[in-house]
């Protein structure tokens, strides 16, 4: 299983310039929030992710691809950074 700090760093690297917040709930599910670090504008929040599924680098890459798809599909992500 990946540590939350490692996952957050990987997500921030993959979705730069967005920042990322990863939180664990009592039922061991994960919530990921991608947002603009300066304005605080939230672009994506995904809850209920299974942490146990993130055991391999391939699983993390698959998560990044899914998040990227969701981010592009929701229409909130802009190519121009919000300042």
User: How does pLDDT run along the chain (83 residues), one tens digit per residue?
Assistant: 568 888 888 988 999 999 999 998 888 889 999 999 999 999 999 999 988 888 888 999 999 999 999 998 876 545 554 44
E-assigned strand segments in 36-79: 42-50
Instruction: Name the pTM for this structure.
Output: 0.79
Bridge partners, residue 50, by sequence? 29
Distance CA(61)–CA(25), nearest Å, equals: 22
Distance CA(15)–CA(34), nearest Å, equals: 8
């Amino acid at each position: 299983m990946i540590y939350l700090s490692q996952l957050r760093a990987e997500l921030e690297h993959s979705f730069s310039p967005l920042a990322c917040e990863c939180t664990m709930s009592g039922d061991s599910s994960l919530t990921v929030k991608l947002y603009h670090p300066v304005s605080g504008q939230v672009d994506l929040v995904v809850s209920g992710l299974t942490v146990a599924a993130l055991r391999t680098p391939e699983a993390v890459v698959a998560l990044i691809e899914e998040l990227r798809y969701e981010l592009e599909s929701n229409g909130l992500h802009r190519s121009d950074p919000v300042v």
